[in-house]
Structure 1
C-alpha cells in the first residue's frame, strides 16, 4: 500500500553496526551479551544474526551475486539501492536547476534505461511498457522529499543564458559606481518593468461529468488581445501612476476611465512598448519623480530596444535620470483572472487588484532579494543560482574537441576510483559482495562510506551517459545582431555608441528601402514594355513561345481568309487595324492595311 506508515523502529540499526558486533564475536571471541551492550543491539537478534553469518560463510558460492548477506528487513519492493537512487536524485535536481527538467514520464523512462544498463532485475511491467511504473514513481518521490512535481514558468533562452556570474558582477560594479558617484539613496532608486495582460486567461480546474472527452469554460475570445502595463517602483515601496498601452491606432481618454487615479495611456497596432510609447512614459516618470541634475535619481530597466531611444536618453540626461540597464527585472509579472472581459475592462480590474499586490512590503522585498537595496553583490553566491546558464556556458573552440573526445569514452571503474580518491584496498570491496570481504579484513565505516561514494559516482556517470544534460552549440561568428549588456545608458560614451549604432541602422534601412523602390520601378517598367503589343509583322516571339508550350490547351491563330493555322505557315502575317481587334491574315490574302468586316461595320456605324 502506498500510504503505509511504519509503527515501530525495528530493523533501523545500520548494517555496519551489526557487522562490527558480529565480527567482534566471531573473530575476537567476545560473548553475545558483552557485544550487545557495547554496540547497543538486541542480544537475541545478535545471536540469530551470528548464526546466520556462520552458516553463510560455510556455504559461499563461486558466483559473487549469490554471496550477498542480508541483515534486518530486506527491501524487496525497492528496485535500486540507496546509492543509485541518490545518484538519480542529484541528476534530477541538476536537470531542474538548468531549466531542462524531466516530466514524470521522462523520469520513468530514464529509470527503466538506468536499471537496464545496470543489469538490475526489473519488473516485467517495466519491460512491457519500456518505462518504470507509476507505483515506483510515487514511492520514489516519498523516499526523496527534496523532490516534488512543480509547474515550471516559461523562461526565454536569452534571459536564462544572460543570468551568469560575469553579467551579474558587471551589473553590481556599475551599480556601486553610480551610487557612490551621485550619492543616491533608497528613495531615489527606481525600477521600471512592463507586463502584458491578456483578455483570455487559462481556466481553472472545475468539477464536471466523467467519461466525457471535451469540457469547456467560457472565455471572451479564443485568442485574446494584449494590453501592456508599464510601472515604476522605488526601493522605499513607492510607485508612480500606471501607464497603459492599448492595441488601438487611435487612443481615447475613455479607455482609462476606470484606471487608478493619475494613470495615462497610449495606443499602437500591437499594444507593445515602442520607442514612441517609452518617450511618453519617460515624460510621465519625470513629471512624478521630479529629478534634477543636482539631485539625480537612478532608473533600472532592461535592454529592450524600445528603451534605447535617443530622445528618451537625452531627456533622461537633461533632467538628472541615470539609466542603468540590466538583464533581469525586479518586478514580477502578474496575471488577472475574471469572467469574459475586453481590453476596456482591464483598467478597472487593475484598480481593484493593484493595491493588494503592489504593497510597500512586496516592493521592498523584491529590491532586497535582488541585492539592490540593501546593496549585496554576493546575494547570488550559491552555484544553484547560476545553474540555468550551464546550457550556454560554452568553452573555447580548441577545448570543445578535447571535451568531445573525453565524453565519447565510457568511464571505467578504475577511473572513477582514482577520481574519487578511494584506496586500492577497497577495489575488492567495491567489486565483490559485502559479506565476502569479512574474512580478509574488517570493513570500517570510513571504507563503507567510500564504497557508497564510488557507487554513487558510477551511477551518476551512467545517468549522464544515458541522457546527457543539454549543451548549446558553439556561437556562430556571423551573427550580425549584437548582444546587449548591462551598461549606464546615460553616460556619454555609451550614449554616443548607441546613437552611432542607431544612425548606422537607420542609414542601412533607408538604403535598403531605396534599393527596393528602385527595383520595384524597374520591374514595373519591364512589365509595361513586355505588355506592349506590336501592330505590324508577325506576332511577338514571346507569344509564339507561350502558345507552343501550351499547344494542348490554347487555340492556334488562323487566317481570316484561308483559315490556315499560323503554326503551319512561314509567310508574314498582317494584323487588323482595329484598335481592339486581334484578327490576323496572310500578307498574300489581305492588304497591308486591312480592316476586318467586323471592325469595318463598327467604323461605318
Structure 2
C-alpha cells in the first residue's frame, strides 16, 4: 500500500511553538505578527487562542492543543451527571425534552453558574450534541387517537405548534376542583403597556405585553408568582400543578426552582390526552368558547364592517368568562377526568379502542389548530388533600 500524502497544511504547526507564541503575546513581549513569524505558527490561529485564554474559555496550558481537544468542557462530570438525572426525571414525569429544550437548559445552567462557555448568547442555546436526536411529530388526528392509551405514551416528546393567523391574545386561566377560579392573566401583542385593554375584563385580571402575543418564560414566571399567592402552598402542604407540555411551562428553570422552594409539584399531562384528562378542556373550554363566539358575533352585528381587535378582547372575553366560570363547571371537570374524586376506572374501554389499531408510542405533542383571536393557556393544581386547580389555552 502507498503512503498517505497530506493534502493540506492545516494545523501543521508545532504545539510547543504555539504554546510559546501564546505565552509571549500574553506577557506583552511580542505582538501577534512577530510571534507568528518567530515561532512559525499561523497568526489568525494565534490570535484566536490568545483571545480564548483571555476570556477564560481555555487555560494557558491547554491553548496549544490541536483539533477540538483544547476546548474545556463547560460542565464538570458531576454537573453533567446531575443534568442527565434531571432530564431523565423530567422525562419520567412526561416533560419530554427536545434538542432545542436541552440546548436552552444547558445555556441557562452555564449562565446562572457563571461558567465559561462558547454558547450562542443571542439565541441563548448551547451547541448541538452528536448523540442527541430529534423525533418528528405526527399529525394531530392520529396523535390524539394513539396518544390516549392505557400507558399514556410515556416515551413521547412534547412539541407544541399553532396555526393561528393575525392578531392573537393569550389568556392564562386556572380553576380548582372546589370551584375557585384564579383571576386570568392576559398577554397582549404589544411592546408597551395599555391598561385600558383590561376594561371590563374579569375582576382581578392582570396583563403582560409581548409583540408575539404568546406566552414567554419570564411572563409565565410572573403568573407562577401570582399562582403561589393564590394557592398558598408550602412544603408541609404541597400543591400539585398540572400543566400542558409547552416549553415556557416545563423547561423553565426559574419556575422549577421556585416550585421546589415553595412546595409546588409540577406534573405534565401525557401528550395527546388533554381532551380527556384536562379538566378545563373537558368541562370549561367548550362553554367558554361558545359564549365568547356569541359575544363576538353579537358585537360584529352591532358594529357592521368592523373587525374585532384587542381593544374589544377584554370586554368580550370578560362577559363570556363570567358566564362559563361556575362552581359546578369546575367540579364536573375534575370529576369527569377522574382526578377528584380519584377514579382510575373513569374511562370505559371503548375510549381506548382508537389506540389499539397501532398500539405504539408516537413522537408528537398535541398540535392545536384554532382559528380565533384568543388563546387561553391552562394548568391544573391540586394539593395533597382536596384542593385542585387547572389552567389551559383557547384559540
Give the TM-score range, shorter chain. 0.3 to 0.5
Question: Which of 1 and 2 has higher RCO (CA within 8 Å, sep 6+)?
Answer: 2
> TM-score normalized by structure 1?
0.30
> TM-score normalized by structure 2?
0.45
Q: Which structure would you say has the larger Rg?
A: 1
Higher helix share: 1
